Structure 1
Amino acid sequence: MTLPSAARTVVIGGGVIGCSIAYHLAREGRKDIVVLERSKLTSGTTWHAAGLVRRLRPSATLTKLINYSIDLYGELERETGQATGWTQTGSLTLATNQDRLTNIKRQVSLGRAFGLEAEVVDAARAKELWPLIETDDVIGAVWSPADGRVNPSDVALALSKGARARGVRIFEDTAVTGLQKKGGRVSSVEIGERVIEADEVVIACGLWSREVAAMAGAHMPLYACEHFYILTKPLAEVQALCKGAHLPTLNDQDAFLYARDDVEGLLVGCFEPHAKGISTRDLPADFSFDLLDEDWDHFMPMMENALRRIPALERAEVRMLLNGPESFTLDSQFMLGESPEVPGLFLMGGMNSTGIALAGGAGKAMAEWIIAGEPTMELNEADIRRFGPEMNVLGALEARIPEVLGRHYDNPYPGRAMETARGQRRSPIHAGLVAAGAQFESRGGWERAVHFGGEAAHLPLSFGVPAWRAQVGTEVEACRNGAAILDQSAFGKIMVQGPDACAFLNYLCAAQMNIPEGRIAYTQILNALGGVESDLTVQRHGPETYLLIVGAGEVVRDLKRMRESRGEFRVEFTDMTSGYAILGLAGAKARDVLQATSNTPVPDLKRFHFAPVEIGLARGWAGRLSFTGEEGFELYIPADMAMTAYEALLAAGAGHAGLYASGSLRIESGFRAFGHELTPGTTPHEAGLDAFCAMGTGFVGEEALRNHIPARRIVSLLFDNPDAIPIHDEPVYFGGAVVGQITSAAWSYRFGRSVALAMINAPLDQLAANQVVAGFEVEIACTRYSARAAFQPAKEAFQ
């Protein structure tokens, strides 16, 4: 078989991910698909993966993808005759301290929202399930009977066999040497002197994906780490226990370990705290079915943990210490989607040691995205558009990725933050916030102030009452009754200009954009299915000039959608994010403080209006709106004058507030946030924002919303018991049945208990007929807490 000169779709990479994408494209009816593999099928990360499959993940999307994968792996054996090795063994996760037990109980509760049942067991039951373990320090465990394992290479071979049967052409020993573009769109693939023209190109080549994407000028921020596990020779204790069967997968996350039986011996792997990154520059050009050097000095602390947990290992003969590279991302979630920089180039990688479990479902999701032109399911946490080019800095990746692997088993406490690659993007007033005692978290590369109590009010982290509760309470008070500065400079700012600016934005945005100059419109950008792609405000500065203020994580996705939507509109748009600071000024005294900074009168603005303003020595403009729901302004100031404006506000009596305070107030006010209440799978009607949709203007997604009656809605929840501390995603019950999940939660200083927003599907009729409906329960770490719900904001409904 010779290489074709053209193909509809070219997939680069013959591991389990590339084979899955090709298989699903073909199964969906796509013809003329070519897979190019630089070595042999299953080489790279696939062949040395441990093959563990855990059904339960931190979100509905990831859990759905893995459940599909498991179903597929069974079907593939019947379809192709190629075994995948899927075996349902169950998994056992140990807890040796109370926080770990709370965390795994939270996972059990989360699983119930998806219909997955797991059992909390004691140490004695854990010993019965895994007789080889020492349990003297175990205070509890979770038994998940639906989990299992596969043979990764066999899965990839089954997928490739199924793909070939549907006409996919696969070429091994075929290394891609370049990518070509025409008019900015990917157009062909170079293999030495040969060229394959293509309508779409898919990059799924594991460790090398970042470098291959760079051939087309695309950004794919991932990096590799060394990943270790030992394999032992057959062990009498394992032989006696298994007898043709298998032990459950063992997870001892407090010791950074996982284990399973393997060919009558044991496989014991780790996510060690001090991981080792490795650059592809340090690998041989022909690295494929290869391993890195054994490093017993590095692995020995984990080996000591393993010997403590599984004493039988002392009698085992180690067959090998396997050290294979795997790729990880900055936020420990994999990435997929069309490149924001290069149309027609689709990217998938950075699987963070979940590639085998996710391969089936993620491959299907990617194939559907390629065919439909946009996602067909909720994929927000994996969407590659969450990463901007500034996050693809090699120095940041080399620093951060080893920490990502090293914290794989960390408890996901509220307030947990990464420590490496910090300070990449800083607000123009960052130095002032540092001097004021800000505690920062890195979000999307930006340093964001979460509160102003410093580390003393931040640690220790906890699933219970956080150390910062009192500090944030003072900041909330300032936002209500004083004047508090909230640094919102990380928000994206996109300037839209041109003769067709108004018409273009009326097509792009759901709200009416033909507003007077000096007005601000609140709106959403929707996809063709009516789901929310972005949540933003739009300022009209002139007949042909608008400024969009978007969430910090929405700039890349908004610019991509704008490029795709421009068509014949005479319009230009420019990312102005780094050019301006945004200072929120919230509270009853906000106007007085603002006036005290200026020798000119502060305009008497109505809500959602803006006007020029002088702040100390700075000139900018003020908008009358606040994301806290309290009285206040947003102040838009050129970056080079932001510090002098900030200093003038402080001198006039302003205080500070961070994201935790604004989050509490936001949830009390019922304000929706993108990535929480608003996602590409959520419609404005479900979010209660249909009043902001200007039906009849022809905006993208309008047709999908016509006659749309939502079967689920966002509600406000107020807990009855002050001991209830939800975080997010907890299942909501009504009448004994799961009816939804928490989307955002915070402590309410107004009510002295937790308040939340939740997406629920029942009882919508009762909520429509009554201001408040009781009888709800929320399960947190296997304990249910009663709550009341309302369509209205909490601060209005529960007074």
Structure 2
Amino acid sequence: MSKPLPEKANVVILGGGIIGASTLYHLAKSGVENCVLLERDQFSCGTTWHAAGLTSRMRESASQSRLVQYTCDLFKSLEAETGQATGVREQGTLYIATNEVRYEALRRSASASQHMGVKVDALDLDGVMSRWPLLNPEGVHGGIYIHGSGSVNPIDATMALVKGARLHGGQAFEKTTVDDILTHKGRVVGVKTDRGEIACDTVLLAGGLWSHKIAKKLGVALPLYSAEHYYIVTESVPNLDPTLPVLGSPDESAYFKEDAGKLLVGFFEPKAKAWPPRGQDIPTEFSFSELPFDFEHLEPQLEQAFSRVPVLNEVGIQLMFCGPESFTSDSRAVMGPAAEVQGLYIASGFNSHGILSSGGAGKMMADWIRDGLPSQGMASTHSHRLMPFQANTRYMQERVTESLGFNMTLHWPGHQLKTARNIRHMPVHDRLIDAGAVMGERAGWEIPLYYDKPGATLPHKPSLGYQEWFPKVAAECEAARDKAVLVDQSCYGKLLICGPDAVAALNHLSANEMDVPVGRSVYTHWLNPRGGIEADIVLMRMAEEEFLLITGPGSQVRDRCWFNANKPAGLNAQCIDVTAQYGMFSMSGPASREILESLTDEDVSKASLPFGHARLMDIGMGRAWVLRRSFMGELGYEIFPTGDLCRHVYDALFEAGASKGLVNAGFFALMTSRVEKGFVHFGHDISEDDTPLEAGLRFAVNFDKDSFIGREVLEQQRDAGPIENRIVHLHVPGASLENGPYLYRNEPIWRGDELVGYVTSGAWGFRMGACLGMASVKNAGGVTADWLAESGFEVEVAGTRYPVELKFGGFYDPKSERMRA
């Protein structure tokens, strides 16, 4: 007889794959009692059991790399702790490049690895062949070798985590189907299973393939769907070296792994097949099942693999496997609390990275559930980045065909997803298209990247150097400097904070003082108890009890949830998402005031409408709030007409601005200009792990007001002397637009032989004609102006170092005379 289910639990985990097992293990080990995992069939069924079991010590950022490094170390220690082997091996991973752009990307990764704490060797062709002699060298430029990466047995690792969890008091049940997650007044109260109900106030959805359907039933947006994932296993290969590294050939969409004397070859083809097909559900009995192997679909990848590793032509194929793996809309996992249901957490959609992510992901989810926050920033995978429309199943059925190949896609500045597009449109979308907008996507919105002739598209040829659109973006930036541009930023999140206690609520959350006169704006941050930045926002006071909050395109859900979760109990203040109700036109440049003056009877002079002030005014025959700010660092105005007036206001601005040189500009120009000016960007330069003082944003913290979240940490940091970890601004003397070097992100900063930081954002500054960026740097004695003024700083790009100049404050208009004109 099976053990009966408990009637109550503190946490119930749905799904016995490796993510659910890891979370149970970490909850139990950290002392959280009464944690229960429910698996409908057997542990590791669904996806975990058929995973290739690859591990890695390096991801796209230092924070994500720390999580996978933790996973690798955990797999090594679990056997001693539990007595259950995990099959962990650290044979390393070798990536090869078969074109010059990929080779540069890999060399950039090798450089970046140094600030991520990973040992990576950049290899020429000889170095590649010495590590993988079975390789056909034709067309190979070189590669990188990641030390300490390798593989693990997924089933054994899952069972070790389950065993470890039970040793620490966790409970895990197989053959238990969850029929429903029970809620009351918008929060979790329990789960209903085929063996009875369990009362609980916290549920973690780690159901893999089934998570999308379960979430949608609750009204939770979880853009997740399965694709067919293929691999083959050969018969024994004579004299195959068991220490052969895992080989990745991303340009050929394939990976190769030694597996008990055989070769396992897996594929991430550019165009995948969604599963199950539209109109069908995952079969109830699907657990350790396989899908039919579509040879015709995979034939191009098989041909490339057999050509790249000729020994495949000499041995038989023992297994041709196809099984489902779940992917998300942006190919990043979904972790954290659901926005729509209190007490529901999500850990799903690991995009074929579930094994290598499992240890760190489980630890972060346990921290999140136990403490209310993860122990490090998780912005890139945060569940609150998801938009409500992404609950749509057909959207993900189309997007997943591209998501699988995203794992090996070459990421460059012009890379944009092509599937499931043209869903979210800004109010004057058609006007932008007619003006020649070349569109990209952000948070589902179609946004103008830059402007060309009508009908033009992004270049198809990848480059990490000079880009074909540079002349177009240069013209837009120069127009902002010399005349005027308009950037449609209607995709930005807009939240209405209202109610009798709106000021009190905002002052509790905000580091800056919020009790300002009507018609004033405040740049501020919402902080976590560690002092880290959770939101980077501007609020405009529209009335005594109303504020309009402006945030980035991907933060409208996140910021609303943060407000609701951290507003003091008993305060009468509401947060309403009004993103779709308002447009947002940013007009910047020295002619912008003259253009605005011609459309309104209001006095918009510097004396009447100074920087940071706002007013509801007539524009043409419409009305809009006008805020005197500019993310481009020029004299500028952010204009917020309601959706019904957007077309009229847009047309009026261009009719009046035609003689003044007003032109459209896109997000490439906007983001390039903000780097020139030195404006930080949430998610790039600042995150949940950075305080405003470390980010150089002391001016946005008001220590004279009453307590706010994170204040104690900032006070301690302020009183401790010079900040030792600081965002600074950099310039690469001698760089050229044609030949670079080009900075993007993660390039290490050196001072002699000492690694002192890394680039957080980089761009070519077209207004200044210079290579500029921002960097996070450290110095044990404090990052001071004198230390920055010392010589010897260098930035490393793809293995080559270049002298850099570092300083506090941006290089463009350092005194903000243009912006405050």
Alignment partner of 1:467: what SS?
coil
Partner amino acid for 1:472? V
Match of residue 729, structure 1, among 746, 754, 772:
746
Amino acid at match of 2:415: R
CA contact 2:749–2:795 (8 Å) conserved in 1: yes
Asked if the contact 2:240–2:261 (Cα under 8 Å) also holds between the matched residues in 1, the reply is: no
Is residue 682 from structure 1 mapped to residue 681 from structure 2 by the alignment?
no
Q: How does 1:622-701 map to 2 (within 5 A)?
A: 622-652=626-656, 653=658, 654-695=662-703, 696-701=705-710
Aligned match of 2:153:
151
Amino acid at match of 1:489: S
2:323 aligns with 324
Look up the SS of the partner of 1:408 in the other structure: helix
| Equivalent in the alignment of 1:388 | 387
- Cα offset, 1:601, TM superposition: 5.1
- The question of 1:274 aligning with 2:291 is answered no
Please name the residue that 1:22 is paired with.
24
Q: One-letter code of the match for 2:754?
A: A
CA contact (8 A) 1:771 1:797 kept: no
The one-letter amino acid of 2:515's match is N
Residue identity opposite 1:337 in structure 2? G
Deviation, structure 1 residue 424: 1.4
The percent of aligned pairs where both chains have the same amino acid is: 37
Letter of the 2:807 partner, please give it.
A
Q: Within 2, Cα distance between the matches of 1:117 and 1:620?
A: 55
Q: Does the CA contact (< 8 Å) of 1:724 and 1:753 recur in 2?
A: no
Q: How does 1:92-131 map to 2 (within 5 A)?
A: 92-131=94-133
Partner of residue 705, structure 1 = 714
What does 1:114-513 align with in structure 2 at a 5 Å threshold? Answer: 114-192=116-194, 194-236=196-238, 240-242=239-241, 245-279=242-276, 281-453=280-452, 455=456, 458-513=459-514
Per the alignment, in what secondary structure is the counterpart of residue 794 of structure 1?
Answer: coil
Equivalent residue in structure 2 for 1:716, among 714, 729, 738: 729
Measure how far apart 1:770 and its partner are.
6.7
SS in 2 for 1:92: strand
In structure 2, the residue matched to 1:606 is 610
Residues 457-606 of structure 1 correspond to what in structure 2 (within 5 A)?
458-566=459-567, 567-598=569-600, 602=604, 604-606=608-610
In the aligned structure 2, how far is the partner of 1:385 from the partner of 1:247? 41
State the shift of 1:797 in Å: 5.9
Q: CA deviation at 1:711?
A: 2.3
* CA–CA separation in structure 1 for the residues paired with 2:571 and 2:406: 47
Equivalent residues of 1:179, 1:215 under 8 A apart: no
Given that 1:230 and 1:268 are in contact with CA atoms closer than 8 Å, whether structure 2 keeps it comes out as yes
> 1:10 Cα deviation (Å)?
0.6
State the shift of 1:766 in Å.
6.4
Give how far 1:246 is off: 3.0
Contact in 1 for aligned 2:451/2:666 (Cα 8 Å)? yes
| Runs of 5+ unmatched residues, structure 2 | 817-821
SS in 2 for 1:591: helix
- 1:798–1:537 CA distance, 2 compared to 1 (3 A): closer
Query: Which TM-score applies when normalising by structure 2?
Result: 0.94
What does 1:80-99 align with in structure 2 at a 5 Å threshold? 80-99=82-101
Deviations along 1:182-210, whole A, 9 cap, x unmatched? 23211100103611001211111111111
Please list the CA deviations of residues 29-84 of structure 1 after superposition, one character each: whole Å capped at 9, or x if unmatched: 11111110010011111100001112111111221111000110011011111110
Query: Separation in 2 of the partners of 1:550 and 1:114?
Result: 29
Q: How far is 1:119 from its partner?
A: 1.8
* Residue aligning to 1:67: 69
Query: 1:251: how far off?
Result: 0.9
Change (3 A) 1:169 1:457: closer
Q: Secondary structure at the match of 1:687?
A: coil
Report the Cα distance in structure 1 between the residues aligned to 2:746 and 2:786, rounded to whole angstroms.
26
CA distance in 1, matches of 2:756, 2:813: 23
Task: Give the match's secondary structure for 1:795.
Answer: coil
Supply the distance in 2 between the matched residues of 1:343 and 1:162 (Cα, whole angstroms): 29
Give the Å deviation of 1:764.
6.7
Is 2:786 the counterpart of 1:769? yes
Q: 1:456 to 1:196 in 2, by over 3 A?
A: closer
Contact 1:480 1:631 in 2 (8 A): no
Following superposition, the deviation at residue 392 of structure 1 comes to: 2.1
Q: CA deviation at 1:241?
A: 3.0
Contact 1:486 1:584 (C-alpha < 8 Å) held by counterparts: yes
Asked whether the 8 Å contact 1:627–1:662 carries over to 2, the reply is yes
Deviates more, 1:65-74 or 1:771-780: 771-780
Unaligned runs of 5+ in 1: none
Deviations 1:696-746 (A, max 9, x none): 421111122122143211100000131210111211112322111111111
Number of aligned residue pairs: 794
The Cα of 1:775 is off from its aligned counterpart by: 2.1
- Separation (CA, whole Å) in 1 of partners of 2:741 and 2:814: 20
AA partner of residue 510 (structure 2) = C
Residue 366 of structure 1: how far off its partner (Å): 0.7
Distance 1:232 1:461 in 2: 34
Q: TM-score, length-normalised on structure 1?
A: 0.97
- Rounded Cα–Cα distance in structure 2 between residues aligned with 1:541 and 1:252: 55
Q: CA deviation at 1:781?
A: 1.2
Other-structure match for 2:819: none
In the alignment, the residues of structure 1 paired with residue 780 and residue 581 of structure 2 have an alpha-carbon distance, to the nearest angstrom, of: 47
Amino acid at match of 1:721: G
Matched residue type, 1:103 = A
State the 1:772 CA deviation. 4.1
Equivalent-residue separation in structure 2 for 1:767 and 1:795 (angstroms): 21
Q: Judging changes above 3 Å, is the alpha-carbon distance between structure 1 residues 350 and 766 closer, same or farther for their aligned structure 2 residues?
A: closer
* 1:795 shift after superposition: 2.0
**Cα distance in 2, alignment partners of residues 161 and 726 from structure 1:** 47
Which of 759, 764, 773 is matched with 1:747 structurally?
764
- Note the C-alpha offset of 1:531: 0.8
Q: Secondary structure at the match of 2:802?
A: strand
Q: Secondary structure at the match of 2:13?
A: strand
CA contact (8 A) 1:772 1:797 kept: no
Contact 1:512 1:697 in 2 (8 A): no
Provide, for residues 68-118 of structure 1, a one-character-per-residue CA deviation record: whole Å limited to 9, x for no partner.
Answer: 001100110111111101111112211111011001111111111122222
Cα pair distance change 1:345/1:580, threshold 3 Å = same
Amino acid at match of 1:718: H
d(CA) in 1 for partners of 2:783, 2:176: 62
Q: Could you say what secondary structure the match of 2:583 adopts?
A: strand
Q: How far is the alpha carbon of 1:796 from its aligned partner?
A: 4.9
Asked if 1 retains the 8 angstrom alpha-carbon contact of 2:233 and 2:319, the reply is yes
More off after superposition, 392-401 vs 196-205: 392-401
Q: Which piece of structure 1 moves more, 60-69 or 771-780? A: 771-780
Counterpart of 1:631 in structure 2: which amino acid? L
Secondary structure of residue in 1 paired with 2:629: coil
| Offset of residue 774 of structure 1 | 3.5
